[in-house]
Structure 1
């Protein structure tokens, strides 16, 4: 039977990312290791494009999430708000191998949302009076550790006596996101904190690819429960039970054994 034009399901992650090439820009959902599209990231790694420009809250950790692409030397630039637990990220940045734009977390979220809804730029008070507005943040170092590329000065303007900085919207060639449930039309539901940057990243991609833990038929999702409508999603990949269950903990903290009581 011929697939409906509204049916956005792709059989495998490899097929879904097959047109992601060198120097592509990718908006990627996730926060730490929560809600990270691990299967799609691994498929991009296996495909082998280089010079990638990533936009994500952080860049995974060593050996997980976007850290896989970073360790393979596939990443040229990262726009993020948090370096986190990734030692290789810090090493590449300080060695001049990686260009990094660090911006306030709320600003990153709004730049992605603005890109998704067609707003070219917006004013925000976040960053006024700092190098975010004044320029000079080190984006790239040289081999000697000196600043080779610095952030430009942003336009500022006063509204009702308060100063604001102009921030440009972000759009990317592709977006990779992870959802708990999705239907064949691309409508997505995210589970609790796994929502994080996923809806915003999905909105900012010209071609958005969603991996879903549970694929359902159109009409099975309550419209009031849909977090992201299918208009923002072009491709859907259903995860296997094993892939869906692969949810590592970024930092596990446990308490030690209870101290023994001394008999009285």
Structure 2
């Protein structure tokens, strides 16, 4: 079944006010930047977004945030976005912080139909006991706090310890980016872009994938496919310049080796 749509704007045309979104990527790696841009142009707001992080101030989900289109974020890391911090502390944005592995498993569970699961992550902290500030009031007090979660003891491998119950995440729409996709929606992700993109795709009732390279159905080796097309409803083929337009979140380099230095020789700073 062909799933290719003509443009990113067409692909997100039915995303409504207040929709919930699972958005793939890790930092700025593998983020669906073209679909995010189309959603920004669409002008809908009140969005409830689940993503590992919220981009940076001028790229990725940070663009939607800066335009005040996001009402609530569920994330595990938010340290690269000053506007995120400002909106959260001023009470403009509701934020649910979640341990990274737990967030990944909540998305995966939503995709496979598991309603909830127990994990040791967060036991003995406000993650389990409640009280994490989800939303601040303008005066700095906590307007909405996280609720307490069920904690039970289980014996695993002869060791008894407490585990906290975490609920699965399902969203109205998932936005993801793949290195290669076919017309049936089968996707291949490049290296670390594979971490949250497949999980977000699984969690969305409708998954929209932007792909850097579109190939005919049947041309991908099944062993190469990271996400089967059953999870994907719409595919957008990126233009060459769109596929190349990627940001580096934090560029690091090491000193160049002195001329004539051999392999394994120590290089001074």
TM norm structure 2:
0.93
| Mapped partners of 1:170, 1:111: distance in 2 | 5
Please list the CA deviations of residues 99-151 of structure 1 after superposition, one character each: whole Å capped at 9, or x if unmatched: 00001000000000000000000000000000000000000000011110000
Partner residue in 1 for 2:29: 34
SS at match of 1:248: coil
Partner residue in 2 for 1:171: 170
Say if 2:224 is the partner of 1:229. Answer: no
Q: Which runs of 4+ in 1 moved over 4 A?
A: 255-259
Partner residue in 2 for 1:140: 135
Contact 1:35/1:196 (<8 A) preserved: no
Question: Alignment length, in residue pairs?
Answer: 254
Post-superposition shift, 1:252? 1.6
Please list the CA deviations of residues 242-263 of structure 1 after superposition, one character each: whole Å capped at 9, or x if unmatched: 000011101122457899xxxx
Post-superposition shift, 1:169? 0.1
Partner residue in 2 for 1:262: none
Say if 2:21 is the partner of 1:22. Answer: no
| Mapped partners of 1:212, 1:15: distance in 2 | 15
Partner residue in 2 for 1:70: 65
Post-superposition shift, 1:194? 1.2
Of 3, 6, 29 in structure 2, the residue corresponding to residue 8 of structure 1 is: 3
Contact 1:32/1:84 (<8 A) preserved: no
Partner residue in 1 for 2:119: 124
Partner residue in 2 for 1:97: 92
Contact 1:95/1:143 (<8 A) preserved: yes
| Mapped partners of 1:236, 1:163: distance in 2 | 43
Please list the CA deviations of residues 150-170 of structure 1 after superposition, one character each: whole Å capped at 9, or x if unmatched: 000000111012100000000
RMSD: 1.2
TM norm structure 1:
0.94
Please list the CA deviations of residues 165-185 of structure 1 after superposition, one character each: whole Å capped at 9, or x if unmatched: 000000000000000000011
SS at match of 1:36: coil
Partner residue in 2 for 1:54: 49
Partner residue in 1 for 2:39: 44
| Mapped partners of 2:47, 2:55: distance in 1 | 15
| Mapped partners of 1:223, 1:12: distance in 2 | 27
| Mapped partners of 1:248, 1:52: distance in 2 | 24
Please list the CA deviations of residues 224-258 of structure 1 after superposition, one character each: whole Å capped at 9, or x if unmatched: 11000000000000000000001110112245789
Partner residue in 1 for 2:209: 210
Contiguous gaps of at least 5 residues in structure 1: 1-5, 260-264
Paired residues for 1:180-199 under 5 Å:
180-199=179-198
| Mapped partners of 1:232, 1:98: distance in 2 | 30
